[in-house]
């Protein structure tokens, strides 16, 4: 009997994690469920999964940052992003940071299983839903009543900082423009990255452009 692929689920929504477990067992072995981004690396060390199903928006640490770290420390472990973010910017950044695939939480079970199989073969899979009209410009597919953190999760000051970052303004220039300290600007920059699940300034610029802030 062939060994079942070992999956580590990372999602801070308990109902979603349990839904994924029910969907994927018994064809796969779910070796653990983690809800905090800061615990993922340790979880990989403990459970030794073949593939990590990783949400983008997590407490403690964003999914994109985790994917990049896993690529460095555990290049044999595949990472499949499973998220509500239907923006192509996120998918491109996830693949750039080392993820093997990108699937929406709206996906059917058949698509998720296919994405897992492709990742385990060493192939990349990005959901075809992202090619739908409008998604290239920052629109998102969300079921009614469910929201992933986006611009609405940022404060007015954070949105202004993001807009200025996207214009290419330096930390000192942003601080001068807003009448705050450079430390305050750096705090907002870090918080914006965490909320949006983005890792680099370049990703922030692309996100701001897609959302029409610049």
Give residue-wise pLDDT tens across range 65-82. Answer: 899 999 999 999 999 999
- Helix, strand, coil percentages (3-state) for the chain, rounded to 5, are 50, 15, 35
Determine the distance from the C-alpha atom of residue 53 to the mean position of all C-alpha atoms in its chain, rounded to a whole number. 10
Q: Do 60 and 90 sit in the same domain of this protein?
A: yes
Q: Do 13 and 95 sit in the same domain of this protein?
A: yes
- pLDDT, tens digit (0-9, with 9 covering 90-100), for 119-159: 999 999 999 877 644 444 344 444 333 345 567 778 888 88
Q: Do 14 and 115 sit in the same domain of this protein?
A: yes
Helix 40-47 crosses helix 63-73 at what angle (to 10 degrees)? 40
Q: Do 106 and 190 sit in the same domain of this protein?
A: no
Last residue of one domain, picked from the residues 86, 102, 137: 137
Q: Do 40 and 71 sit in the same domain of this protein?
A: yes
Tokens of 62: 């964003």
Is residue 196 situated within a structural domain? yes
Is residue 1 situated within a structural domain? no
Whether the ω angle into residue 41 lies within 30 degrees of 0, i.e. cis, is no
Q: Do 123 and 159 sit in the same domain of this protein?
A: no
Alpha-carbon distance of 52 to 49, in angstroms, equals 7
Exposed, middle or buried by CB within 10 Å (0-12, 13-18, 19+), for 62?
Answer: buried
Per the structure, the complete domain to which residue 185 belongs is given by 151-210
Please give the chain's pLDDT, 214 residues, in tens.
Answer: 468 999 999 998 888 898 899 989 989 999 999 999 999 999 999 999 999 999 988 888 888 889 999 999 999 999 999 988 877 788 888 898 899 999 998 888 899 999 999 999 999 999 987 764 444 434 444 433 334 556 777 888 888 999 898 888 889 989 999 998 888 899 888 888 888 877 788 778 878 877 777 6
What are residue 99's phi and psi, to 5 degrees?
-70, 150
Picking from 2, 7, 3, 150, the residue whose alpha carbon sits closest to that of residue 80 is: 7
CATH number at residue 10: 3.40.50.2300
Q: Do 72 and 164 sit in the same domain of this protein?
A: no
Q: Do 34 and 122 sit in the same domain of this protein?
A: yes
Q: Do 44 and 123 sit in the same domain of this protein?
A: yes
Tokens of 163: 């807009």
CATH number at residue 192: 1.10.10.10
178: helix, coil or strand? helix
Q: Do 108 and 199 sit in the same domain of this protein?
A: no
Is residue 114 situated within a structural domain? yes
Inter-residue contact 196 to 149 (CB < 8 Å): yes
Q: Do 116 and 24 sit in the same domain of this protein?
A: yes
Is residue 143 situated within a structural domain? no
User: How many domains, in total, are found in the chain?
Assistant: 2
Is residue 146 situated within a structural domain? no
- pTM greater than the 0.85 cutoff: no
Last residue of one domain, picked from the residues 137, 163, 182: 137
Q: Do 113 and 10 sit in the same domain of this protein?
A: yes
Last residue of one domain, picked from the residues 92, 113, 137: 137
Residues whose CB is less than 8 angstroms from the CB of residue 107 and which lie 6 or more positions away in sequence, other chains included: 115, 127, 129
Alpha-carbon distance of 214 to 206, in angstroms, equals 10
Q: Given this model, what pLDDT does residue 62 score?
A: 84
């Amino acid at each position: 009997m062939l060994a079942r692929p070992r999956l580590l689920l990372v999602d801070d929504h308990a109902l979603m994690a349990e839904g994924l477990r029910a969907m994927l067992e018994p064809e796969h072995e779910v070796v653990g469920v983690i809800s905090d981004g800061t615990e993922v690396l340790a979880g990989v060390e403990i459970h030794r999964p073949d593939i990590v199903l990783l949400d983008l928006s997590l407490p403690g640490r964003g999914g994109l940052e985790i994917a990049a770290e896993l690529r460095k420390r555990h290049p044999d472990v595949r990472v499949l992003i499973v998220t509500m973010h239907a923006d192509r910017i996120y998918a491109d950044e996830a693949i750039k940071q080392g993820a093997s695939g990108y699937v929406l939480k709206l996906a059917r079970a058949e698509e998720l299983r296919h994405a897992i199989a492709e990742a385990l073969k060493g192939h990349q899979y990005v959901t075809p839903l992202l090619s739908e009209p409008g998604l290239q410009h920052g629109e998102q597919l969300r079921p009614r009543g469910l929201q992933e953190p986006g611009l609405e999760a940022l404060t007015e000051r954070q949105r202004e900082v993001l807009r200025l970052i996207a214009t290419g303004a330096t930390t000192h220039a942003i601080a001068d423009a807003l009448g705050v300290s450079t430390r305050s600007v750096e705090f907002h920059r870090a918080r914006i990255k965490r909320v949006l699940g983005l890792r680099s300034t370049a990703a922030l610029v692309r996100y701001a452009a897609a959302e029409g802030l610049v």
